């Protein structure tokens, strides 16, 4: 009799402990969400204070309020707009579920990494707790970086010499978000990925065919069908047409997730597993027929220009540069001239490629 009573008491205590734990877990989640709301309110107050002090909205360009959808000045130093930076933080704050890793390829000065770390710090899901962003870069200063910094008057903090490591500068920029970042000093043309599932993959390192091929073979196999988000930061850039060609070849395995307005970024959701033979090829221009090239570039231009005729026009310049590299000068000229069909002015990127065509003539 006593034994049965003890068993009943123990079972009751077990149920009670389970209920207490479940309630505590729910309370902790509510507290975490409340903390995030407080952080948001504090940031808004800071924005208001800065607005009062400067006479214009914080982190907006002077004409942003007058032109809905216009590009806003970035909050972090780097070649990303504020629209992009907001999108990156939204992905890790609202969309990330902790079912895979977060990978940032080509983080440079940290504008992508910091925003994703900020979003991750505000993610209230318990499954996201303890997760980090894997940030990859060579962290070696090059002359073209100096040219970019000079042209756009970026406050990098100190003078850097070609070949010098800017890793200390990157880590300093991370500040309090450093605990959310696992830094990898790496050459992404040779880097391998251990195979863990990747839930968010931000790619800002496909600067050549070699880098593209290694990233495809090493990182894309770890995408989670139906869940993973692939973010191409250079998708609407005019000098990286290999991204358009390879993504067109893989289009059956992705759906458009976000065409970020007034920005280079386009994001895709991986819908089904990608066959390994498509990811382990040594892609080059010769891998694509002229028919597929035309289809791919025209296909992505029609989609990219849905961002409100912002950076989508760069796909015209990208196709012209591709044809120039093929040696088709006449085709490149005709492509540049299509800007008139879409009522485009010859803006900076189109003018850059046009000048390349003239020089090659």
**Looking at the structure, do residues 310 and 206 belong to the same domain, yes or no?**
no
For residue 209, the number of C-alpha atoms closer than 13 Å in the C-beta half-sphere is 9
Answer yes or no: is 29 within a domain. yes
Q: Is the pLDDT of residue 218 over 70?
A: yes
Cα gap 9→61, rounded to integer Å: 67
Using the structure block, give the residue that is written with the tokens 């000098």.
Answer: 239
Q: Is the dihedral of CA 148, 151, 157, 160 positive or negative?
A: positive
- 207 and 271 together in one domain: yes
Residue 255: domain span: 82-279
274 and 302 together in one domain: no
How high is the pLDDT of residue 336? Answer: 86
Do 326 and 199 reside in the same domain of the chain? no
Q: Say how many domains are in the chain.
A: 3
Note whether 189 and 48 are same-domain residues. Answer: no
Would you say residue 75 lies in a domain?
Answer: no
270 with 334, same domain: the answer is no
User: Based on the domain organization, do 21 and 122 belong to the same domain?
Assistant: no
Q: Give pLDDT, residue 294.
A: 96
In a domain, 273, yes or no: yes
Average pLDDT over residues 74-84: 75
| Exposure string for 317-335, b = 16+ CB within 10 A, e = fewer | bbbbbbbbeeebeebbbeb
Decide if 105 is inside a domain: yes
Strand partners, 269: 229, 255
In a domain, 63, yes or no: no
Same domain? For 153 and 181 the reply is yes
CATH number of the domain bearing residue 211: 3.40.50.150
The domain boundary residue, chosen from 15, 37, 55: 55
The Cα–Cα gap between 336 and 353 comes to 8
Q: Are 99 and 201 members of one domain?
A: yes
pLDDT tens, position by position, 286-300: 999 999 999 999 999
Work out the burial of residue 251: count CB atoms within 10 Å of its CB; fewer than 13 is exposed, 13-18 middle, 19 or more buried.
middle
**Domain final position from 17, 38, 55:** 55
Residue 277: per-residue pLDDT: 97
With respect to residue 60, please indicate whether it lies within any of the assigned structural domains.
Answer: no
pLDDT in tens, 319-346: 999 999 999 999 999 998 876 555 455 5
Residue 39 is predicted with a pLDDT of 47
Q: Which residues lie closer than 8 Å to 105 by C-beta, 6 or more apart?
A: 136, 188, 201, 202, 203, 204, 205, 215, 219
Taking only the tens place, the pLDDT of each residue in 80-105 is 888 999 999 999 999 999 999 999 99
Highest mean pLDDT among 10-19, 130-139, 300-309: 130-139
């Amino acid at each position: 009799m006593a034994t049965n009573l003890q068993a009943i008491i123990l079972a009751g205590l077990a149920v009670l402990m389970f209920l207490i734990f479940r309630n505590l877990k729910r309370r902790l989640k509510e507290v975490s969400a409340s903390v995030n709301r407080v952080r948001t309110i504090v940031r808004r107050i800071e924005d208001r204070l800065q607005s009062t002090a400067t006479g214009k909205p914080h982190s907006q360009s002077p004409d942003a309020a007058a032109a809905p959808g216009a590009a806003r000045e970035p909050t972090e130093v780097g070649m990303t707009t504020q629209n992009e930076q907001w999108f990156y933080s939204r992905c890790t704050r609202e969309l990330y579920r902790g079912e895979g890793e977060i990978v940032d390829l080509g983080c440079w000065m940290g504008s992508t990494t910091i925003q994703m770390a900020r979003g991750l710090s505000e993610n209230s899901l318990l499954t996201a707790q303890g997760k980090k962003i894997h940030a990859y870069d060579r962290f070696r200063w090059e002359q073209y970086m100096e040219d970019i910094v000079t042209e756009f008057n970026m406050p990098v903090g100190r003078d850097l010499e070609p070949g010098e490591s800017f890793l200390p500068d990157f880590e300093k920029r991370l500040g309090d978000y450093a605990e959310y970042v696992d830094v990898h000093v790496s050459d992404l043309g040779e880097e391998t990925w251990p195979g863990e599932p990747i839930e968010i993959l931000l790619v800002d390192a496909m600067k050549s065919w070699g880098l593209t091929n290694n990233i495809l073979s090493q990182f894309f196999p770890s995408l989670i069908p139906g869940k993973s988000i692939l973010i191409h930061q250079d998708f609407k850039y005019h000098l990286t047409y290999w991204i358009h060609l390879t993504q067109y070849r893989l289009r059956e395995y992705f759906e458009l997730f976000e065409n970020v307005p007034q920005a280079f970024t386009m994001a895709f959701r991986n819908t089904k597993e990608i066959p390994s033979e498509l990811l382990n090829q040594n892609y080059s221009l010769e891998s694509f027929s002229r028919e597929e090239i035309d289809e791919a570039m025209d296909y992505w231009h029609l989609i990219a220009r849905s961002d409100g005729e912002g950076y989508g026009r760069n796909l015209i310049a990208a196709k012209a540069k591709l044809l120039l590299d093929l040696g088709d000068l006449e085709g490149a000229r005709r492509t540049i001239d299509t800007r008139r069909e879409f009522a485009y002015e010859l803006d900076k990127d189109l003018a850059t490629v046009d000048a390349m065509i003239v020089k090659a003539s």
